[in-house]
Structure 1
């Protein structure tokens, strides 16, 4: 991974978790972060630690390690897709130029970090931020560009469009 690249780092959620032990309660923290370069590469990470800053640092480090490249056409998605992960369903639709990213918290964080500028989204079912982020990632990774579809079918791009 290039260390000199500039990344967009977004903290999606920070949670305090308590564990009851003999002497009282022990608190620890979990952090969910999204990291992207704004040019089509994005990753997410989940970090746990006894300190807030350490949990955030761990989640950002894991996000950088899990980065993937996602397809993009003129700042939007190549096609519409609906993804299900556990009890979360996410609808991602391409939008006309100038629309902007119409999305809620976790979905917006992922799409903006990846560099999308015009997308319509809707989250249905569970709105658990961890599941929403994973659903969006599954959706983005399963997107296909027309050239890829043509190669998969063993045809030329002109045969696919006609």
Structure 2
């Protein structure tokens, strides 16, 4: 994964899911909350975090702190991704494909949050397998972290940029 450095003031968080969980104890049920948060600067940096606490606000705060530790850099070219890619995490599989300007984000709930946070505005995406928000978010970030920028591909192949990318 390509770790990203970013100004923390620019990061915007988006809560993907909040789940109430119960622990059965002698006196009855004890409730707590888990929250999944996606963090991004809208310019190609995105991360996800999971927080658990007895209160919703504490769980979200913990998730934001966790997301700051898991930021990755994504190449965004002309408001879309540079190439098609598949991502996988556990039972969640995602497919992300570049789209023409004006298409918008064609993606489901958890994937949409990740793509918007990364600053991708035109993309076609499909989620297969598990619809669990944990798996979908992590699979999407896995796919985005595998993306390769055209200049990096050109350097690796020792060819001119125009041979790799015409945009």
- Does TM, normalized by the shorter one, top 0.5? yes
Secondary structure, in 3 states, of the residue corresponding to 1:64? Answer: helix
Match runs of 1:2-151 below 5 Å: 2-3=7-8, 5-151=9-155
- After TM superposition, the structure 1 stretch with the greater mean CA deviation from structure 2, 142-151 or 152-161, is 152-161
Deviations 1:81-130 (A, max 9, x none): 12222111101010000000111111000010111110011101111100
Q: In the TM superposition, what is the alpha-carbon distance from 1:64 to its structure 2 partner?
A: 1.9
Deviations 1:67-87 (A, max 9, x none): 121101100000011222211
Q: How many residues align?
A: 161
Assess, with a 3 A threshold, how the Cα gap between structure 1 residues 151 and 31 changes in structure 2: closer, same or farther.
same
C-alpha separation in 2, matches of 1:73 and 1:115: 10
Deviation, 1:153, is 2.9
CA distance in 2, matches of 1:59, 1:160: 38
Give me the CA root mean square deviation. 1.7
